[in-house]
Amino acid sequence: MSRRQLLRHAGWFGSAVVLTVAGGEVISHVAHDKDSSAAAAAAADANALRFVQISDSHIGFAGPANTDVTASFDGAIDQVNALGFRPDFVMHTGDLTHTSTPAQFDQVRQMLGGLRTGRVFTVPGEHDSVGDSGKGYRQAFGANTSGDGWYSFDTHGVHFIALVNTLSLEKLGHLGNDQIDFVRKDVAGLSSDTPIVVFSHIPLFAMYPAWGWSTDDALQVLNLLKRFGSVTCLNGHVHQLFSKTEGNVTFHSATTTAYPLPAPGKAPAPTPQVLPAGHLKEALGIRSVTYKTGTSALAITDQRLA
């Protein structure tokens, strides 16, 4: 490993984000952020914004890595419903299905209907556009979206942007000019002190391009967000917890409700991993996020299904 590669590697796994394991939960916060303790305490504030991220349910998958993805997704939904608070919304960050059949989309829609939450949002994964460039996904989940399924919304003083970077895959994720123009116009009128949260399936940073774990034109969107004091990007796709901070932007990759993938470079390819009996749920989980007005950090709690 060259010195440059080592520095990049250290940036991924360094002290920018602290992960604390307690009672089966992995609690992360930005170590250098002066408001991190305030953000963590926000979970006790009934007026705070609270939402949940779930990802990569892969309904329709059949294989030894998880012989019943429906049951594990059901377990994740039960866990959301047992959090002790009603989330303002739940976001599924893609790969809802494994092969994007109408029956799989219908099954996911019915299962998501069991969440006790105000609203449910989604973005597509590459598995949600198999063979039809995302047409089936948009028919099932694309109401009130623009272009190929992107959109934005506001709540509790936070601006949320949901991006689609899975439809024009050569090797890496791709947003495209139309979507970048959407973001440009979308944030043009926002004050620079507005907290921004961006959802996508594939990471918006170069997590591991050799496996396609990056988005080739993400920098154009991130440049549009440079003027904002707090930007958080939440993605799925990689099936594991992963965090990185660059300037005002913090990236958090989520785990999955289906099956684990290997750590970057630890296997020939990112294929489903078979864990020893009884250990699968340790690699699966959900994420809850809390934001209290007046703080610049989000309190992020990654909870395992085990």
- Backbone phi, psi, residue 102, to 5°: -55, -40
- Local confidence band at 210 (pLDDT 50, 70, 90 cut-offs): very high
Task: Give the C-alpha separation, 30 to 289, whole Å.
Answer: 13
What number is the average pLDDT over the span 118-126? 97
**Are residues 202 and 215 in contact, defined by beta-carbon separation less than 8 angstroms?**
yes
- Local confidence band at 221 (pLDDT 50, 70, 90 cut-offs): very high
Average pLDDT for the chain: 87
Task: Give the C-alpha separation, 182 to 64, whole Å.
Answer: 41
For residue 24, which amino acid is it?
Answer: G
Residue 46 confidence (pLDDT): 67
pTM, whole model, 2 decimals? Answer: 0.88
Share of the chain above pLDDT 90, in %: 78
Residue 37 confidence (pLDDT): 47
For residue 15, which amino acid is it?
Answer: S
- Give the three-class secondary structure for 45: coil
pLDDT digits (tens, 9 = 90+) for 260-279: 999 999 999 999 999 999 99
pLDDT digits (tens, 9 = 90+) for 283-297: 999 999 999 887 777
pLDDT digits (tens, 9 = 90+) for 59-101: 999 999 999 999 999 999 999 999 999 999 999 999 999 999 9
- Give the three-class secondary structure for 95: coil
Share of the chain above pLDDT 70, in %: 85
Residue 41 confidence (pLDDT): 53
Residue 30, both tokens: 């930005």
Give the residue among 85, 90, 80, 81 at the shortest CA–CA distance from 47. Answer: 85
Q: Examine the pLDDT at 57 and tell me if it is beyond 70.
A: yes
pLDDT digits (tens, 9 = 90+) for 150-192: 999 999 999 999 999 999 887 899 999 999 999 999 999 999 9
Residue 260 confidence (pLDDT): 97
Residue 97 is given by DSSP the state B
